[in-house]
Amino acid sequence: MPDSTATPLPEPNANNPELSVVPNPAEPKRSRGKFSQRDATLLSEAKEICVAAKKPQYAAALTLRNVPPAFVTGLEELLAQAGGHTEAAVNADENRMGDTREKSDARQDLIQNLQSIQAAARLEFLPEQPEKLHVYGTTGDLDAAKPVLEQSSQAMINKANAERPGNLDTAFIVETQAKRDTFVGKDGEQSAEVSKGKQERRSLKSMLRTIVARRKKIQYAADLLWPHYKTESAQARGDFKLPLDRPYTY
């Protein structure tokens, strides 16, 4: 080991044969998380049915069929809660996608530092001690699966800290360790958002069943009040999204 004062390594670049650089990944397209079209349609239809049920020309008749204004208001409150779950799940999707991009950036930052360590190891141990390069992964692929990179990167950092090949200084070792910690930590953040998104979707699915059941009750009452075989029922049946030529049998 040379005992000269350690100096930071140069930044990796394509013109230095000792330093290989992984190209920056293409910027991922940002897209908003979405629910199924079916769920969106169910919520939209329920809102429209509530609007119809509150109209003065229908409200009194519906009350006589056990669908009072309070019932309609209760359905609207459920719809508002469902909207909250929808928004929370969409936000979780967006955060998860953001975490994915950040994890990709953290991975790239770590790999570039590891490549510098590999270059320093080649400088230190070739050609006299090629067997010492094994732990530095100079013959392996740094862009491996995450668990492999987690393990191999820590082993490489530990070895570089002990041997200081190419006069690597403490600041560079500390920086590389910090980049590895950031890379590893991103998985936990991403998993948390995935879990949150799933929970919000489960809550919405459960709520949708109640919403659909209550929406149907309003429509069944309207079907009874304004039967399909009466010409004058056409407007009401249209407002309550009922078939014009047959009974409502959802």
Domain ranges of the chain: 37-239
> Which residues have a Cβ under 8 Å from the Cβ of 72 and sit 6 or more positions away?
50, 53, 54, 59, 62, 218
Instruction: Match domain 37-239 to its CATH number in 1.20.120, 1.20.1260, 3.40.50, 1.10.520.
Output: 1.20.1260
pLDDT score, position 174: 95
> Which residues have a Cβ under 8 Å from the Cβ of 199 and sit 6 or more positions away?
none
Q: Other CB atoms closer than 10 Å to residue 4's CB: what's the count?
A: 7
Closest CA to 69 of 236, 213, 210, 218: 218
Residue with tokens 């393990």, as numbered in its chain: 151
State yes or no: pLDDT of 25 exceeds 50.
Answer: no
Q: CA quadruple 231, 235, 240, 245: dihedral positive or negative?
A: positive
pLDDT score, position 199: 72
Q: Compute the average pLDDT of residues 150-161.
A: 91
Spatial separation of the C-alpha atoms in residues 15 and 51, rounded to whole Å: 68
DSSP state of 25: P
Q: Other CB atoms closer than 10 Å to residue 3's CB: what's the count?
A: 6
> Is residue 12 within 8 Å of residue 116, measured between CB atoms?
yes
Q: Compute the average pLDDT of residues 20-25.
A: 37
Q: Letter for the amino acid at 161?
A: N
Angle among Cα 167, 168, 174 to the nearest 5 degrees reads: 155
Reported confidence tier of residue 82, pLDDT bands at 50, 70, 90: confident
**End-to-end Cα distance, the chain:** 81
Q: At what angle do helices 170-225 and 69-125 cross, to 10 degrees?
A: 160
pLDDT score, position 191: 60
> Which residues have a Cβ under 8 Å from the Cβ of 27 and sit 6 or more positions away?
none
Q: Compute the average pLDDT of residues 86-112.
A: 72
pLDDT score, position 225: 96
Reported confidence tier of residue 70, pLDDT bands at 50, 70, 90: very high
Reported confidence tier of residue 94, pLDDT bands at 50, 70, 90: low
Tokens representing 132?
A: 């010492």
Tokens representing 109?
A: 């930052």
- Residue with more model confidence, 217 or 83: 217
Spatial separation of the C-alpha atoms in residues 230 and 249, rounded to whole Å: 17
